Amino acid sequence: MAIDALAHSFKIRKFNHVRLSDWAAQEIVLCDAAEPVKIILVKPQTFMNSSGLAIAPLLKEHGVSLKDLIVIHDEMDLPVGYARVSFNASSAGHRGVGSIVDACGGKGFARIRVGIDKPQRPDGVIDYVLSGFSKTEWASFIEVIARVPAIVRTIICEGVMIAQDRFNRKVVQD
């Protein structure tokens, strides 16, 4: 959903399909500079735990350095309605992020962690992650997804630290 929000924001309408991912590339003027920025959006079509297998070949093919990678993923350690920006952080047990770290050769990339909250039962993680949100949670989740393009633009144009200062708080106002 976050990649779709970015595609809509950047007016990217067509994704290419390769064996392990759907991806789109486009040059866009994002910042105050007149020079366009090449944006590559990737939707891994692997199991989540193997996301790195989809990401690493595209980074290499398009000459994207690890420091320019922004990974957006769900985060059980954050409540629904929260987003956090981090850089060079450990996977903290997130197997999809761990796969990206392993396949891409390090953790030196930005992450946007979107809160999904924790299941009530620790043994119900798989069912929880694959289930839907309540109506209240859904509204908060949609608010966070709607902010993803602004977060990405801030990371690209102003840097990770400014994005952290600006967005590392609850998105929905109580």
The answer to pTM > 0.85 is yes
Note every long-range contact of 148-154, with CB atoms under 8 Å and residues 24 or more positions apart, other chains counting.
148/2, 148/5, 148/6, 148/72, 148/83, 148/112, 148/114, 149/5, 149/6, 149/8, 149/9, 149/10, 151/83, 151/85, 151/112, 152/6, 152/70, 152/112, 153/30, 153/31
**Does the pLDDT of residue 121 top 70, yes or no?**
no
Confidence at residue 122, expressed as pLDDT on a 0 to 100 scale: 62
Confidence at residue 174, expressed as pLDDT on a 0 to 100 scale: 41
Task: Give me the architecture of the 2-167 domain, per CATH.
Answer: 3-Layer(aba) Sandwich (3.40)
